[in-house]
A and B are shown apart, each in its own frame.
Chain A
Amino acid sequence: MSTVVETHDHGHHGPAKGLSRWLFTTNHKDIGTLYLWFSFIMLFTGGAMAMVIRAELFQPGLQIVQPEFFNQMTTNHGLIMVFGVIMPAFVGLANWMLPIQIGAPDMALPRLNNLSFWLLPMAFGILISTLFMPEGGPNFGWTFYAPLSTTYAPSTVNFFIFSVHVMGVSSILGSINIITTIFNMRAPGMTLMKMPLFVWSWLITAYLLIAVMPVLAGVVTMMLMDINFGTSFFNAAGGGDPVLFQHVFWFFGHPEVYIMILPAFGVVSHIIETFSRKPIFGYESMVYAMASIAILSFVVWAHHMFTVGMPLAGELFFMYSTMLIAIPTGVKVFNWVATMFRGSITFETPMLFSIAFVALFTIGGFSGLMLAIVPADFQYHDTYFVVAHFHYVLVPGALFGIIAATYYWLPKWTGNMYDETLGKLHFWLTFISVNITFFPMHFVGLAGMPRRYPDYALQFADFNAIISVGAFMFGLTQLLFLFIVIKTIRGGKQASPEVWEGAGELGLEWTLSSPAPYHSFSIPPQVK
Chain B
Amino acid sequence: METKSTLRNLVGIVVGMFAFGWLLVPMYDVFCEITGLNGKVTGPSFLSEESKAITEQRELLVQFMTHNNESMPWFFDSEKSQMRVLTGNQYEATFVFHNTTSKEMVGQVIPSVSPGRGAEYFHKTECFCFEQQVLAAGERIELPVRFIIDPALPKEIGSLSLGYTLFDITDRVKSENKLANL
Contact = CB atoms under 8 A, between A and B. Distances in A.
Complex contact flag A–B (Cβ < 8 Å): yes
Interface of A: 108, 172, 175-176, 179-180, 183-184, 210-219, 222, 230, 233, 236-239, 241, 243-244, 247-248, 251, 309-311, 314
19 contacts: A172-B14, A175-B10, A176-B10, A180-B6, A210-B13, A210-B14, A214-B20, A214-B21, A218-B21, A230-B172, A230-B176, A236-B69, A237-B168, A238-B172, A239-B110, A241-B38, A241-B40, A243-B38, A311-B116
B139 to A, nearest CB: 20
B6 A236 contact: no
Contacts of A184: 2-3, 6
Contacts of A236: 69, 110, 165, 167
A215 B38 contact: no
A247 B28 contact: yes
B175 interface: yes
Contacts of B32: 241
Contact of B24 (A183, A213, A248, A311): A248
Nearest to B115: A311
Nearest to A219: B21
Given A216-B21, A244-B28, A248-B25, 11 more contacts: A172-B14, A176-B14, A183-B6, A210-B13, A211-B13, A218-B24, A237-B110, A239-B110, A241-B28, A241-B40, A247-B24
Interface of chain A: mostly helix, strand, loop or mixed:
helix
B10 to A, nearest CB: 5
B133 interface: no
A244 B25 contact: yes
B82 interface: no
Interface in B149-175: 165, 167-169, 172, 175
Contacts of A217: 18, 21
Contacts of B175: 230
A310 B13 contact: no
A8 to B, nearest CB: 24
Interface in B1-57: 2-3, 6-7, 10-11, 13-15, 17-18, 20-22, 24-25, 28, 32, 35-40, 42
Nearest to B70: A151
Contacts of A248: 21, 24-25
B66 interface: no
A212 B22 CA distance: 12
B25 A176 contact: no
B62 to A, nearest CB: 20
Interface of B: 2-3, 6-7, 10-11, 13-15, 17-18, 20-22, 24-25, 28, 32, 35-40, 42, 69, 108, 110, 115-117, 165, 167-169, 172, 175-176
A175 B17 CA distance: 14
A218 B24 CA distance: 10
Contact of B25 (A180, A216, A222, A309): A222
A176 B5 CA distance: 12
A399 to B, nearest CB: 28
B18 A214 contact: yes
Contact of A237 (B42, B108, B115, B116): B108
Contact of B3 (A108, A215, A222): A108
Contacts of A309: 38-39, 116
Contacts, number: 94
Contacts of B11: 176
Contacts of B176: 230
A222 B21 CA distance: 10
Contacts of B37: 310-311, 314
Nearest to B40: A241
A219 B7 CA distance: 25
Contacts of B39: 309
Nearest to A252: B21
B116 A180 contact: no
Contacts of A180: 3, 6-7, 10
A248 B175 CA distance: 28
Given A238-B169, A241-B28, A183 B17 contact: no
A310 B168 CA distance: 27
B22 to A, nearest CB: 5
Contacts of B20: 214-215
A237 B172 contact: yes
A214 B11 CA distance: 11
B112 to A, nearest CB: 8
Contacts of A175: 10
Nearest to A237: B167
A218 B11 CA distance: 16
Nearest to B72: A237
B71 to A, nearest CB: 13
A108 B6 CA distance: 11
Contacts of A244: 24-25, 28
Nearest to A185: B3
Nearest to B21: A218
A418 to B, nearest CB: 37
Contact of A210 (B17, B24, B116, B165): B17
A210 B13 CA distance: 7
A183 B2 contact: yes
A10 to B, nearest CB: 22
A295 B28 CA distance: 21
A368 to B, nearest CB: 25
Contacts of B35: 311, 314
Nearest to A235: B167
A450 B39 CA distance: 28
B14 A179 contact: no
A236 B38 CA distance: 11
Contacts of B2: 183-184
Nearest to A108: B3
A262 B160 CA distance: 46
A28 to B, nearest CB: 16
